[in-house]
Chains A and B, each alone.
Chain A
Amino acid sequence: MPDALLDKLRATVGTQYVLTGVELSPYVIEGRTPEAAVFPGSVDEVAAVIGLAADAARPVTPWGGGTAASVGMPAAPAGLVLGLRRLSRLLEHEPGDLTASVEAGMTVEAFQTALRGRGQWVSLDPADARLATLGGVLATNASGPRRHLYGTARDLLIGVTVVTADGTVVRGGGKVVKNVAGYDLPKLFVGSYGTLGVIVEATVKLRPLPDHERLVCIPFDRLKDAGAAVRALLASDLIPNAIELLDAPAGAALGAESPALVVGFDGLREQVDWQCAELTRLAVACGGREGRPLPDDTWPRLETAARAAFPAAAAVMSFSVLPSQVADLMEQGAGGARARGLTSAWAAHAGVGVVRAAVGSDVRPKEPSAIAAVLREWREQARAGGGHGTLEWAPLAVKSQVPVWDDPAAAGRIMERIKAQLDPRNILNPGRFVAGI
């Protein structure tokens, strides 16, 4: 990186907020070291930094808590890491409006703690809440088990402020829970992986904290039967806030020795009690055993249950399929891995058809092509039912054989046109996302 650019960056954000050399080690992705890491302290500084990067044609990698830094292909030219940790203020919280505005670098945990103090929460429960920032969660569309009832970031984000690829500050949506003025920019930015703009502020819908919440684990002898119980549960009058289906290896990581159905309920105590009793009745009729409550600290471990089955997973893939296909995908996928001499662990947000699988780390020999072959097979299974798969984590050697992102088909051309319109010089996370964007 030219010294002149570094000097300008230092003049913009302050010398101590521009890291270079060995200080960059936390920001190395897939062995690629950025040229600098810059930590602006205000929206205007973010805009100035992006403006400088754009003028110098340096790629920019927005960075929140770094929890999803390895998702996607790393940028070929390393460029600048743009850290948002200094933008971490809660800007506005009016409990009567059930909304809050927050800077993008605030961690999910800090945000929830502030809200909880006033009887509310944002219904997002991604993994790594202690590190993950709200901006990062929005940009990667991260979610957790409670998405079953409360939806994902797209359902909660009502306003967004971004810095665009030319360093302009742009706002979309607003601060009110219902709003159709202008195009829905919040939807555009959720899950866009920092390729269209850098999220700097967000306004989200909140919910009142429920009186009670309980998580129940029902062991099954066969995954197939647990899948049938999910269907019965979805067709019932019950209103669970989470429906998790775990195979034996993923279940073991949570203390269940067999395939398990884990279901969450919230509401008034009498509602939770009644639903737990109904659930047991319904699950036993499908071949489940007596349910038992799980401790509250199980909640944050559900999102990563598949990966946690192994000391160090060799690859993690997630799938979006129809809820009715979940149990089949899990069984067939695990069978496919076994046939290739690989172990796997599977966990799903079964009610919404989001499945996650990890390949075991006991692969011998650690041959990327064997792992790649099974990942391709899994993805084909998801695609055959109209779904798709994303390679959430794998070493570069595997990623180079299996595309990280699925093929978006004809819609990919529209995505390319959007990227070309909004980031014509291709400086925001170039090459990281779908369709080579």
Chain B
Amino acid sequence: MLTDFLQLTVAGLSQGSVYALLAVGLIAVYTVRHIVNIAQGEFAMLAGIGGAWLTAAGMPLILAILVAIFSVILVAIAMERLIIARVKNLTTLFSMIVTLSVSILLQAIMLLVWGPEARGLPRFPGENLLIGGVSIRSQELWMLGALVVVGGGIMLFYEKTRWGKALRACAEQPIAARIVGISPVMASVMAFAIAGFVGAVAGVVSSPIALSLWSGGLLLGLKGFVAAILGGFSSFRAAIVGALLLGVIEAYVAGYVASGLRDGVAFLILILVLTFRTQGLVLKPTAVRV
């Protein structure tokens, strides 16, 4: 019994770490531009499919991953420059409509270029572990590790460094930020580059286990969105905790109740949070609220 419980927890945490990375990407953009980027999940799929395609073409794994991540960052920047930056008076609501169209566009491109079949990267190096009957796949450790290093790194960047604080200042006081010399254009580009980067990392670390599919990004992005809501769309910490909780609850529901209910969990949580506790898991909303 305990073994099963721990096994489900491991699966939930690794899945949750992918949601967490996507939530970090969403918040990274939202805190700078007040844009909810529906195409966040597509960044993950694009990196996964692109990387898988490169490795299938004979490129070494590590190089394929780097090329895939770098390309997705470029895609994210192009998205910001060519589309987002050109929309006047971009409200949060309107930003969702715009980024949803980008999401559909990216899906169509992936479908046309790589076809409708799911692709996966080869497994990253490492041994699968068996601890007390609980099997931990090495790829799951990579997923958790990516969250710690990349997600944690971005969080520290935003909260501790001058650059990160400058980015957030753009959202809170755009005019004042410009007066003190922070370029809003640069800030917006950086925010999207960061979103592309974490999205791509989430995509490549999960691809060996979950495969990447042209149409898989929207649901994945929405799970990240739910996690971001749990973080009040402002707190990285709360969103990461929320994402891990979401992953674990999904695993328990699938294991103990019914696997078909799994994808419903996120949206049930979403409704509950928005109805009863809009600040999500954030304990001190005023300190970080944007």
Same complex? no
